[in-house]
Each structure stands twice: as structure tokens, then as C-alpha cells.
Structure 1
Amino acid sequence: MRRPRTPTSCRDRPSVASSCGHEPPGRRPVLLHPTLRNSPMSRLLSSLLLAATLTASACAQSTAPNVVADGLGFPEGTILVDQTLYFVDYQASTVNKLAAGGYAVVARLPGCGANGLAAANGTLWVACYDGGVVEKLALDGARLGTIRHAGGEGFSRPNDLVANRRGDLYFTASGDRPGQGKVFLARAGGDVAEEVASGLDNANGIALSPDEQLLYVGESDTDSILRYRIAASGSLNPPEVFARLDALAPATSRGRHTPDGVRIGADGSMYIALFNGGGYWVLDARGTLLKSVDVPGDHHSNLAVSVSVTGKPEIYVTSVSGSSGRIYRLPR
């Protein structure tokens, strides 16, 4: 995720796991008028806040991670292709994959600002955050073409992508200002994308449910995950709020959590990289917070869910501190 903007309030959307009646992201969870600070209501709210904090602390986990890639600028777009981890480095604008002793550069894309990655049927798609296009590559890095806007203009900050089994590609474009985020659909085999959702505040991570009937989109500026039901045509029905992160757990010393990359496990569990939250969260299919995992680093932009060759579930998480980026592997 690039350059978080000033948070905006949650829009009038139906809610699944939480409502839009909480304070806008970036504020403390409870702010009381001076006349209420010593009232019975004040004491009740304080008790509720303490209970929520203790619950969140109880499910927090800290596991010693292994560094699998180091010396990166800003790693992003982690995906697994036949159990090989591919990822991009926004700062270097490269597509990479894990290799013996580190990683190998698959493709260099000057001017792209490679920020997101998806794969299906032997094709890689790269979200060019700076270039305003989506590049198509073979797994060996050979250029296959470019996906462009059906209206002829460029996309405003392409951010993240996900492909279904048929090869249809959904991707987010963050936009330059609040309310300008969008979701696009490029149909399998095509090189033109159509707009299927708009009006988002910093559209970011994107993921499909295991049955590919639901599309999830992270809206970073409202600390929310939105959920869209996918019509038979591939278009999206109006969104509902699947989860408000600031309602699931209080903000930390880093500020709001800021959902970035989103992944869905085979059981429907959701994994959310927290750009400002210290690691990642796991939610169940109903939007309940199952656990919070701390990962070293200042920011965490993306993750990938895997099953290792030994059959043990693993997760890869990107991490950035200053101008230095890493990818960690942890048991899931």
C-alpha cells in the first residue's frame, strides 16, 4: 500500500460483522464529552473497552518467524504458484520468486511501480501502481501484453489483483482522493478491463471466497473489509461491510490498523496484512477475529497462505522497516 490518506468516515453500507456507527478510523475507540467522564455511562463504557482490550490481547500471538527473503526495498504482492512464492518489489519495480538461498528476479518493469501480483493458468498479472496499467507476463517473465481501461484512460493507482479459476481478473485501483477507489474486471483472455465497483476510499487488498461467489476488498481509509456478491455475469452487487477492524479491536500505538493485503484460506478464513497494525489478523468466515499475530517490522503490506511440503500450514508476510524490506515465513 502506498501513502495512506487521511481517514474518512464509513459510508452508509449494510454491515455483517460490525456497524458503521463507530468513530472514524484514526480516532481513539472511545471519546467522552467532559460532562460524561465521571458518570455511570462513563464507567460502563470503560468496562466494555477494558473487556475488549483483554479479549484482543488474549488472542494475540507472537511466533518466531524465519526470514526467507532479505535486502528488498518494498516487498508486496505475495502469491503462491505451485507452492513457489512469487512477489513484487515496489521500490525496484521487479517481479521475483523464492529460490535456493534467497530470491531470483523474474522480470524488471521500469516505470511500472509493481505493487500487486496474481496468477492463473500460467499467466502472471502485475498491478503497475505508478504506470496506471496491468501487465501480463509468463511465469518466466516474458511480456504477454497489457490490460487497459475500456474507456481508454489509465487506471488510477492499480493496487492489488485476484484471478478466479477461469482466468477472469478482478483488481483494485486505489484512486488519488477519497471516494475515487474502484474495482475492475478483465475477462479471461481479454486485454480490456471494465469498471464493476466505484466510490471506495483507498481500495486496496482483494480476495475471492473459496467458491468464488464472493469478492472481498480492503478499504484502507475506513479500516474496513467490504464484501460483494458476484453475479453470474461477473458484475458485482452492492457491497456490505464484512468487518470494521477498529470495531473488532482497539487501535494500537501505531494508530488505526489499516488493512492492506487480504487472502482467503481454503476453509474460508480471512488473513489480513495490517499496514499499521504490527502484523496480521485472522478472521473466520463470519468476520469474527480469531487471532492477531505480531511480525517484526514497521509495516506489513501483504501475505500468502501455503501448505508446506511437509503438509504443515504456513504463511508468508511482507515486512518493511525504513527503506529495508523482508519476507517472513511463519507457521499458520
Structure 2
Amino acid sequence: MTKLADGLLFPEGPTVLPDGDVLVVELHRGTLTRVKPDGTKTIAAETGGGPNGSALGPDGRVYIANSGGLRRFEVGGFVFAGGIPDDYKGGSLQAVDLTDGSVETLYSDGLRGPNDLVVDAHGGIYFTDYGKSDGVTGDKGRLFYAKADGSSIEMIAAGMEGPNGIGLSPDGTRLYVSETYTARVWWWDVTAPGKIQGGKSLGGSGGGNFLYTVPDYTNFDSLGVDGHGNVCVASMVHAGISIISPKGDLVRFVDINVDNDPGITNITWGGPDMRTAYVTASSTGHLLKIENWPRPGLVLNHAT
């Protein structure tokens, strides 16, 4: 395991580009940042707000789940994100053109805190809206499906407790979502593009099917799906990656201890054999590179 880049301001949403560069969002800087294989960093786009997730889309643009910003605070010398910043104006789903860094806001009306996203084979975007909390009251989380051209958006599930990471099974027939503070993973059958069975429930699961939770105090963050269909969930507090089978069994927990960072937030894969994992250690501002991951990652839609 190596520190590919440091000095990042709460990195999240890693995306591997076809040329081998890695994109991360910097939530506390308000940027989409490109990291070269030698660790060199450049700003790819100024998104503003609080970019939280990124993914390549069908038109070559990079789509951003923008939370609208979160407060920066420190605990024990480690950086975290939460609450509502003074300059909060709402969340959004954005598209970035990497050729010139231009940013288009596709959707914003009614969005509170978009967190992460995944693009399906049809070019549609599933994304989580974590919501916002002022420390006294908080929103229930929601799931959305939106077209990449900005023409339509639909809420497909509601009533969740902090929905964070999101991913699709290799065949696209299952949608997975992790909840942060409950440390639970849920799944839905995808019956058609943007259609899931059991959505729009007012229950705490958003109508989903329970897959897995941890036996100890852990906060789940974002997730990636590997080439075998396992759901790999990044976690804070108990920092690492939980590899969960589609049947709900814990295949393995990969402990990631880098400078005692409690904020392991996301994972994706790249390399010729998809065995190189890129992991964001947000509380210390690192992008980690892990060679020879136990199983190859899933080649995401529109990533080549």
C-alpha cells in the first residue's frame, strides 16, 4: 500500500480514467482533482459546494454528486465533514467536461445533500441524497434516478437513514446502498432502467432488502462492487473495507491503518487486471494505492 497523493482536502469519489489518471473530489476545497500515476495533482474543475462522489458518464463527462457543502471540523487531529455550512445553497448533480473544466449543473431543485452515484449501462444515473442535519433535526435520505442529459429526474426510494454509497451488481440487476450511521447495506431488484422493486417506502430501509450490518460500532461510507459481485464498503471508526458477498456474508475485512486515519471513505479499481485498488483516506487527506487486491474490481459502465 502506498500514499499516491497527500494534502487533499477530504478526498472522496475516486474515478480511474482510461489513461490511468485518477480523479478525486475534494469536498472541503470544492474541486474535482486529477492525480497522475506519479502523484502529481492538478485541478480538473472548480465545482463549488461540496463535491462528494464522481463517475464517468456515457458522453465522456464526469458526473458529480455535490452535497452543497459540509462543515469542516477536527477530532483528535483528524478532519471530518458534517452539518450545514454558512454558505449552503442546496445540493446538485453536476457534469464536468474534462477538456476545459467547465461545469454544468443538471439538477438542483429539491436536492439536499447528494452523496454518491453510479451510472448504469443505459446512461442513467442512480444517486443517493443523504440529506442535511443541523445537529437537532435531520432529513430522511432518498434515492434518485436521473438522465445524464438533464432531461428527467425521479425519486425512487425515500425514508432512509443517511444513504451514502451506491453501486450496481455486475449484471445491473441489483442496486446496493450503504447507510452511514446504521452501518447497514440494502439492495433492490432493478426491474427496468430507473425502476426498483419496493422503492418509495416511508420505512427506514427505503423499501430495500437487508444485506448486511456490522457487529461493532462502525460508520459505513461509500462502496464499490468487485468483479465477483461482492460489495466492498469503506468504513470509518473501524477503518477499512468490508467485502460482503451478494448473499450477505462477510467474505473478508481489509484493515487499512494509515496514520491511524479513522476516515476510510471510498474504493475503486484500475490497472490492466483491475487488481489495483484506489482508496480515499479522507481524514488525513490521502489517496491510497493498493496493489494485488484480493479480487479484481468491476469495470464500470462507460469507464473505457
Same fold (TM over 0.5): yes
Q: Which residue does the alignment assign to 2:125? A: 169
Residue identity in the other structure for 1:184: F
In the alignment, the residues of structure 1 paired with residue 104 and residue 282 of structure 2 have an alpha-carbon distance, to the nearest angstrom, of 31
SS of the aligned residue for 1:230 comes to: strand
In the alignment, the residues of structure 2 paired with residue 73 and residue 215 of structure 1 have an alpha-carbon distance, to the nearest angstrom, of 30
Residue identity in the other structure for 1:74: F
The Cα shift of 1:264 comes to 0.6
SS of the aligned residue for 1:207 comes to: strand
Runs (5+) with no aligned partner, structure 1: 1-64
The Cα shift of 1:313 comes to 0.8
Q: Which residue does the alignment assign to 1:28? A: none
Q: Which residue does the alignment assign to 2:15? A: 79
1:116 to 53, 59, 76: 53
The Cα shift of 1:236 comes to 1.5
1:258 to 197, 216, 219: 219
Q: Which residue does the alignment assign to 2:286? A: 326
The Cα offsets for residues 245-302 of structure 1, whole Å up to 9 and x where unpaired, read as 22xxx31xxxx22111111112211111002221111112222111111212121111
In the alignment, the residues of structure 2 paired with residue 117 and residue 192 of structure 1 have an alpha-carbon distance, to the nearest angstrom, of 19
SS of the aligned residue for 2:181 comes to: helix
Q: Work out the number of aligned pairs and report it.
A: 253
After the TM superposition, which parts of structure 1 deviate over 6 Å for at least 4 consecutive aligned residues? none
Tell whether 2:227 aligns with 1:285. Answer: no
Residue identity in the other structure for 2:221: D
1:222 to 182, 190, 203: 182
The Cα offsets for residues 5-46 of structure 1, whole Å up to 9 and x where unpaired, read as xxxxxxxxxxxxxxxxxxxxxxxxxxxxxxxxxxxxxxxxxx
Contact 1:245/1:257, CA 8 A, preserved across alignment:
no
Contact 1:224/1:241, CA 8 A, preserved across alignment:
no
RMSD of aligned Cα (Å): 1.9
Q: Which residue does the alignment assign to 1:201? A: 161
The Cα offsets for residues 96-143 of structure 1, whole Å up to 9 and x where unpaired, read as 122134222101123x21111111220211111114111111233533
Q: Which residue does the alignment assign to 2:64? A: 126
In the alignment, the residues of structure 1 paired with residue 237 and residue 172 of structure 2 have an alpha-carbon distance, to the nearest angstrom, of 29
Identity of aligned residues (%): 28
Q: TM-score, normalised by structure 1?
A: 0.71
Runs (5+) with no aligned partner, structure 2: 69-89, 199-206, 294-304
Higher helix share: 1
Higher strand share: 2
The Cα offsets for residues 293-321 of structure 1, whole Å up to 9 and x where unpaired, read as 12121211111122x24x36121111134
Alignment CA distance shift 1:132-1:227 (3 Å): same
In the alignment, the residues of structure 1 paired with residue 123 and residue 274 of structure 2 have an alpha-carbon distance, to the nearest angstrom, of 28
In the alignment, the residues of structure 2 paired with residue 141 and residue 170 of structure 1 have an alpha-carbon distance, to the nearest angstrom, of 26
Alignment CA distance shift 1:272-1:108 (3 Å): same
